[in-house]
Amino acid sequence: MVPLQTQFLQQSYLIHTNKLIDKILHSGNVQELITFQQRLSLQSKKLSLLNSQHKSIYQQWFINNNVATNLIARIESSHVSNEVLKNKVLIQLDTLLDAIEIQLDSPQTT
């Protein structure tokens, strides 16, 4: 039998976890997403530390949430470098277009 205090903690952690999942699902900001995912990992760690009949499930949640946190961080990191690369390519394209316009505007010599 699980003590009442453990049941209360489990219930409050699960409620907080549910709220975090809602925030993650509605988040459009990458930085917020990372923060919410880290908090979700912490909640699943707290759940996994409880002496509960669902301990193994909570431990698996913690492992999965850590994997998700790492993936989100990698995606965010790639996003930044992709933006830099995109800006470099746009500058090169703009320069190329200018060169083409100059070539087209210059008098043709045969």
Closest by CA position to 44, among listed 74, 30, 27, 24: 24
**Reported confidence tier of residue 54, pLDDT bands at 50, 70, 90:** very high
Tokens 């990458």 sit on residue: 30
Q: Is the pLDDT of residue 110 over 60?
A: no
pTM over 0.85: no
Q: Is the pLDDT of residue 109 over 80?
A: no
Q: Is the pLDDT of residue 81 over 70?
A: yes
Q: How far apart are alpha carbons 28 and 104 in whole angstroms?
A: 44
**Reported confidence tier of residue 91, pLDDT bands at 50, 70, 90:** very high
Q: How far apart are alpha carbons 99 and 94 in whole angstroms?
A: 9
Structure tokens of 72? 């989100």
Average pLDDT over residues 93-109: 89
